[in-house]
Amino acid sequence: MDLSQNSISSNSSNSFGLQTNFLNKKPAGLNFGMKTNNNNTAYYAKKGEPMYVKEMDADEDGIVSFDEFKDYCQANGISSKEMVRMVEMANSYRTMQAQKKAEKEIKENSSDEKNTIKEVESEAVYAKRGDGKYDEAMDTNNDDKVSYKEYMIK
């Protein structure tokens, strides 16, 4: 056997080993049925997500567990390489959803902050009775203070 045949033989056995490892074990980082950091059970897909396939959901609970995913893929001749790609796509989808949610929350918080600033500005005191800037005509609520809001009206 020459060196190139040895290399081919080694690569194919490594590939087979990786496939067997993927199908029979729970690969690190994929959390097959394990608890995640926030104590939720990991899954492949939930109903409503684009990667959810009803035929994968053997127990019809609306969640495709990794065991259901693995069983479906094995039964339909999907290679371990394709399975990994599918899981990566599912993770990418969830990452994008989380980013969109975070961006939305940031916008909402930013809007809330702007409204709070406007409220504070409108209540800010422009002048008090006795100040050189105080004008009784501007003090519409007769509280001896001219708020920024009252100042902007007059």
Q: Name the residue with higher pLDDT: 74 or 138.
A: 74
Mean pLDDT of 132-142: 79
Given this model, what pLDDT does residue 83 score? Answer: 93
Closest CA to 126 of 135, 116, 115: 135
Burial of residue 31, with CB atoms counted within 10 A of its CB: 0-12 exposed, 13-18 middle, 19 or more buried:
middle
Q: Does residue 64 contact residue 56 with C-beta atoms inside 8 Å? A: yes
Q: Is 45 helix (H, G, I), strand (E, B) or coil?
A: strand
Rounded CA gap, 116 and 140, in Å? 23
pTM to 2 decimals? 0.48
